Structure 1
Amino acid sequence: MTYVVKQKIKGRTYAYEVQSYWDPDKKQARQKRRYLGIWDEETGLIIPKTAERDVTAAKSFGPVYLLDELGKEISIRKKLKDAFGEDGDVIYAMAMANLIYPTSLKNLHHVLEDSYIPEMYSLKDSFSSQWSSTFLERLASKDTSMLSFYNSLTQTDDETLIFDITSLSSFSKNINWLEYGYNRDGIDLPQVNLGLVTSVHRQIPLYLKLFPGSVNDVTTLKNLIAEVKSFGISKSLFILDRGFYSESNVVEMASEGIDFIMPLHFGVKIGKGLISETNREIENPANARIFGGRIYYVMEDEVDIGGVKAQAYVFLNKHREGSEISSFYGRLIDIETSLDGKKAYREPHELFKRTAGNFARYFEWEVVDGLISLRRRVNAISQTINRFGKTIILSATPRSWDEVLSLYKEREVVEKQFDELKNELDLMPLRVQKVETLQGLLFVFLVSLIMRALLLRKAREAGLMDKRSVEDILLEMEKLRAVKVGGTWRLTEITKRIRTILEKMGVQVPIEPRA
């Protein structure tokens, strides 16, 4: 008689095949046990034992499975295949590999060799450095396919969009778009500029575009307005950085019927006027508000910009004001301590300029009896302090103050995505040698960003981000591997932590690898 028994040892349940037989020598019934594997409590199935000598291959399965399941929410694999045909799965594989383990093109094949990605999507390519460069260069020429993919990401003709631009620096001598311009990272290298459009409500990037390094923020916006309309977005709200402000940009957006929210620089005429007009009254108790647990004073006014009426909101954040004042006077006093009453050397002007830096405008100085004498420029200091803690935000249409502030703070989403693009996804410094290869690579990175955004949102909704990062989750999922025994792929045991991650994210616990 043969049957299966289960035995729980240190939290694990093991399954054994038991065969009863009669022992003629001892004249009693005996049992023979054969170990079958681990009993899976959830599925009621036995995970077969695997002898080490029988395993012919072992690959990382957990991260691939998790990302593939989350991607189904927006059908990203289908969208790529619809737009690019069979190349869609290659793009998806490269993007997924780069998200799981960011690396350079020349090392991409190592990541894929250790991953179940090729088996998941039935890929036969080598993914060598030369192959990858050629593929990305070919990908860059598929403008129609890229446009089709961008269009597929747009779910509605009414989107709240954040557009921002960043600089990507490189030592390359072969990318003709590399030019010197305003570098947002303070790096003294030629650069290309990268624009990214993100959906506020879905918190995923929708569009990415490369520009020559000397093209400024204002110029890119005019082209973007036309391109966004081509995606079928007829009504949009742009949340922009202050670098996009210009009278011509405001007039352009008004003529195109585009709604916008944008901060105003204190240095422009309208900004100076608003600070001056609201300075005395803004701290009136009637203007006090609470937002995000902080005290804000808020005043509103209508302004005219090139004949276009817009609503201006002046915000005073008392917490930030205190911090900025403390930092400002700390620096001011440090300079005085370093210079005032000190002996003037042969070139005191250079010493003052080098020590004071951009704080030089807050001092008058002279040399008296061989010593440097500093005096504070009270009016200049007062004008600067009057701006501390304050933000001016323009809105094309009247809105409540808290809606304006809330929408503007959504810009942090795209700022984090740029940080992830440059650092977490290992984009910087640029290592490619052709602008076409770079364009293809950036498209792959966009897909990586979309998948990362989906994972991040799901993890937050599941309450998994309190003590974990996206990288921690993917690292934990690495423990789930697929092993090839003979010609059959099997999964290793699913740990309690992995099961918890999957269940909290609403992802079905896998039973076996699949293609």
Structure 2
Amino acid sequence: MIHYKPVDLPERTVTVRTKSGTYVYLTQKVEYSSKLKCSRPKRIAIGKLNEKGMLIPNQNYFDLYGKPVELDVPGERADTVSCGPFVVVDAIARKTQLLDVLESVFPEQWDKILDLATYMMMTENNVMQYFEDYGYHHALFNESNFTDSTIGRLFDNMNIKDMDLFIRAWVKMHADKDIYISYDSTNMNCVAGNLELAEYGHAKDNPDLPQVNMSLGYNQTGNKPLFYSLYPGSIIDNTECEKMVERAKYYECENMGFILDRGYFSIKNIRYFEKNGYDYILMTKGNARFVQEAVEECQAILRNGYTNYIEEHELYGMTLEKDLFGTGKTEYVHVYYDGIQAEKDKIIINGRYKKMDEIMEGKVQRKTQRKEDVKAYEGYYKVKFDDNGYLFAYQRKEKKIKEMVNKVGYFVIVTSKKMDAAEALSIYRDRDAVEKTFRMEKSYLGFDVFRVHDTEKLESKVFISFVALIIRNEMYQALKPMYKKNRKENTVPKVIREYERLGITKLSDNKYHVRYSLTSRQKKILGAVGVTEKDYMDKVNKIVQALNES
């Protein structure tokens, strides 16, 4: 493995700071977007900053500026090689049959796919240029270390047909009948490349960057990611819902229910679920007419009674049976009142009005004349202008405030299947598993930003991240009992760092050795994922033998 001397930053570069380091992008050109009516830069990743602010170049830099001076040429493996991540991922991949499916679908590529998935998980990074350095210090599934050029060829040779075949086999193995699938989507920003799916949409973070949307189906009953899909960044969740149902049908999912947040709520989507025979548990939007009517019907009972208290969730709830669409089919409308949340929301409303009062008073003091300057506040205040056209008085619309206060604390869930309010809320709140999974994808696998330059590589990279997601999620589920006992010491990131420390060392005989026995703590965190001390030593001894013979 060749290490290159760091270089000075070229001109026209921008930096993007992430958990795994600061990455450098070169602005190649600026293009005008007639759609957005503004100019947008086209950038390419050229490397990463070291601790001194110098650029560690990647292949893109070499293509543009030529190769810098080589610093040194060490051996194929470091003197100390980490084995823990390999042993743990191997155990999880075998237990879940992930390894079997990968070997079957990708007979020539499965080992590199698992290595890259492990790299993403261990480094919380998706920048492939630095895998070679990772491989230098870690045991690998592949026989030898490999470069970013090899990774580029791997991405090019992987095709959507094989990826889809993997997903189909994975769903068949882990989507038993009578389960609920939590479904959600998120957006990933793009800082370089020319991706067909990258469009400007409704990003919560970095809205000035184009994005690609990713949706995920998660088996809430079996606690496993099932399938995913990519779609253009400008498409909103609500309109993608039908495609999601079609995707479940395509993978031959039967007798399933979908659990969805309010972003997917619409009468059209509910009808579509019912037409295709899928059950659903759906959080509603408060502005829907039937939601407001249901809240009004239950308001007095929930706010003043105690018989509808749901102790496990510390709130009140009751269920109404309604034919919402006049089809003769009964839907179940579950209305909830959370008094604690209601008080918090009242404080927020009062604070908001206090701030608006200050703004309105400022407008009076400045003798505002333009009615457009107070138009945004007319929904909340009655305003008066004097004969000269100056704003001189304002008064809160008390009826409006009362309506807002009366609505706080209420929320409504609709289900197609008969169940009581407690059961519906318990199932819905368990869907935070899919939100945690997206957090894994963006925070712990480095996918808050895509760093690829064409759509084919994007598909391959996201597929490998999905494999990493399966592995990390399995680790998360396995460590849950330990986490509940000690939330500080047994988080997944902390345990992963401890797996990293399990390794072998080259001694004066120029051979690798296991220098220490496992500690009690190490035995526990390995045991959590199904690896006994004997399993660990057997695997590590095979790694030692292979490296010593190479």
* Category of TM-score, reference length = shorter chain: 0.7 to 0.9
Q: Aligned-pair distance for 1:488? A: 4.7
TM-score if structure 2 supplies the norm length?
Answer: 0.76
Q: What is the identity, as a one-letter code, of the residue corresponding to 2:515?
A: T
Q: What is the identity, as a one-letter code, of the residue corresponding to 2:274?
A: A
User: Structure 2 vs 1, CA of residues 346 and 155 (structure 1 numbering), >3 Å: closer, same or farther?
Assistant: closer
Corresponding residue of 1:135 = 154
Which of the numbers 486, 494, 497 marks the counterpart of 1:475?
497
Which secondary structure state, in structure 2, belongs to the residue aligned with residue 311 of structure 1?
A: strand
User: Structure 2 vs 1, CA of residues 452 and 496 (structure 1 numbering), >3 Å: closer, same or farther?
Assistant: same
TM-score if structure 1 supplies the norm length?
Answer: 0.81
Q: Could you give the per-residue CA deviations for residues 271-294 of structure 1, whole angstroms, max 9, x where no partner exists? A: 222233333333241543134351
Larger deviation, residues 449-458 vs 360-369: 360-369
Q: Could you give the per-residue CA deviations for residues 208-255 of structure 1, whole angstroms, max 9, x where no partner exists? A: 100111223233222222322333321101001112222222122112
Residues 287 and 299, structure 1, Cα contact 8 Å, conserved in 2: no
d(CA) in 2 for partners of 1:127, 1:261: 47
User: Structure 2 vs 1, CA of residues 173 and 210 (structure 1 numbering), >3 Å: closer, same or farther?
Assistant: same
Matched, 1:111 2:137: no
Q: What is the identity, as a one-letter code, of the residue corresponding to 2:121?
A: L
Which secondary structure state, in structure 2, belongs to the residue aligned with residue 126 of structure 1?
A: coil
Which secondary structure state, in structure 2, belongs to the residue aligned with residue 86 of structure 1?
A: coil
Q: What is the identity, as a one-letter code, of the residue corresponding to 1:115?
A: H
Which secondary structure state, in structure 2, belongs to the residue aligned with residue 462 of structure 1?
A: helix
Corresponding residue of 2:409 = 389
User: Structure 2 vs 1, CA of residues 337 and 410 (structure 1 numbering), >3 Å: closer, same or farther?
Assistant: same
d(CA) in 1 for partners of 2:527, 2:174: 29
Which of the numbers 82, 86, 101 marks the counterpart of 1:64?
86
Larger deviation, residues 267-276 vs 179-188: 179-188
d(CA) in 2 for partners of 1:500, 1:181: 45
Which secondary structure state, in structure 1, belongs to the residue aligned with residue 182 of structure 2?
A: strand
Which of the numbers 345, 350, 361 marks the counterpart of 1:340?
361
Which of the numbers 90, 96, 102 marks the counterpart of 2:118?
96
Corresponding residue of 1:24 = none
d(CA) in 2 for partners of 1:325, 1:495: 53
Q: Aligned-pair distance for 1:173? A: 4.9
User: Structure 2 vs 1, CA of residues 245 and 435 (structure 1 numbering), >3 Å: closer, same or farther?
Assistant: same
Q: How many residues align?
A: 453
d(CA) in 2 for partners of 1:193, 1:352: 37
Q: Aligned-pair distance for 1:144? A: 4.5
d(CA) in 2 for partners of 1:89, 1:360: 63
Q: CA RMSD of the aligned region, Å?
A: 2.6
Matched, 1:405 2:425: yes
Matched, 1:456 2:476: yes
User: Structure 2 vs 1, CA of residues 434 and 224 (structure 1 numbering), >3 Å: closer, same or farther?
Assistant: same
Corresponding residue of 1:420 = 440
d(CA) in 1 for partners of 2:262, 2:166: 29
d(CA) in 2 for partners of 1:56, 1:264: 55
Residues 291 and 402, structure 1, Cα contact 8 Å, conserved in 2: no
d(CA) in 1 for partners of 2:167, 2:501: 38
Q: Aligned-pair distance for 1:384? A: 2.1
Corresponding residue of 1:324 = 345
Q: Could you give the per-residue CA deviations for residues 302-349 of structure 1, whole angstroms, max 9, x where no partner exists? A: 241363531111111111111111111112112213432651255665
> In percent, how many aligned pairs have the same letter?
21
Q: Could you give the per-residue CA deviations for residues 23-68 of structure 1, whole angstroms, max 9, x where no partner exists? A: xxxxxxxxxxxxxxxxxxxxxxxxxxxxxxxx97211112322232
Residues 84 and 145, structure 1, Cα contact 8 Å, conserved in 2: no
Q: Aligned-pair distance for 1:135? A: 1.7
d(CA) in 1 for partners of 2:152, 2:326: 48
Residues 88 and 529, structure 2, Cα contact 8 Å, conserved in 1: no
Q: How does 1:16-27 map to 2 (within 5 A)?
A: none
Corresponding residue of 1:41 = none
Q: Could you give the per-residue CA deviations for residues 249-272 of structure 1, whole angstroms, max 9, x where no partner exists? A: 212211211000001111122222
Gaps of 5+ in 2: 1-76, 544-550
Q: Could you give the per-residue CA deviations for residues 470-509 of structure 1, whole angstroms, max 9, x where no partner exists? A: 1100112222112245575432313343223224554212
User: Structure 2 vs 1, CA of residues 97 and 372 (structure 1 numbering), >3 Å: closer, same or farther?
Assistant: farther
Q: Aligned-pair distance for 1:413? A: 1.0
Structure having the higher Rg: 1
Instruction: Identify the structure with bigger relative contact order (alpha carbons < 8 Å, sequence gap 6+).
Output: 1
Q: What is the identity, as a one-letter code, of the residue corresponding to 1:245?
A: F
Matched, 1:270 2:294: no
d(CA) in 1 for partners of 2:354, 2:78: 69
Gaps of 5+ in 1: 1-54
Q: Aligned-pair distance for 1:166? A: 1.2
Q: Could you give the per-residue CA deviations for residues 399-418 of structure 1, whole angstroms, max 9, x where no partner exists? A: 12111001110221111211
Corresponding residue of 1:508 = 532
d(CA) in 1 for partners of 2:319, 2:419: 13
Matched, 1:361 2:385: no
Which of the numbers 510, 514, 518 marks the counterpart of 1:491?
514
User: Structure 2 vs 1, CA of residues 325 and 432 (structure 1 numbering), >3 Å: closer, same or farther?
Assistant: same
Q: Could you give the per-residue CA deviations for residues 129-170 of structure 1, whole angstroms, max 9, x where no partner exists? A: x33233223324334533444335424133210111111222
User: Structure 2 vs 1, CA of residues 291 and 190 (structure 1 numbering), >3 Å: closer, same or farther?
Assistant: farther
Which secondary structure state, in structure 2, belongs to the residue aligned with residue 137 of structure 1?
A: helix
Matched, 1:315 2:341: no
User: Structure 2 vs 1, CA of residues 231 and 495 (structure 1 numbering), >3 Å: closer, same or farther?
Assistant: same
Larger deviation, residues 77-86 vs 445-454: 77-86
Matched, 1:260 2:286: no
d(CA) in 1 for partners of 2:497, 2:78: 24
Which of the numbers 376, 392, 402 marks the counterpart of 2:396?
376
d(CA) in 2 for partners of 1:186, 1:298: 41
Larger deviation, residues 66-75 vs 88-97: 66-75
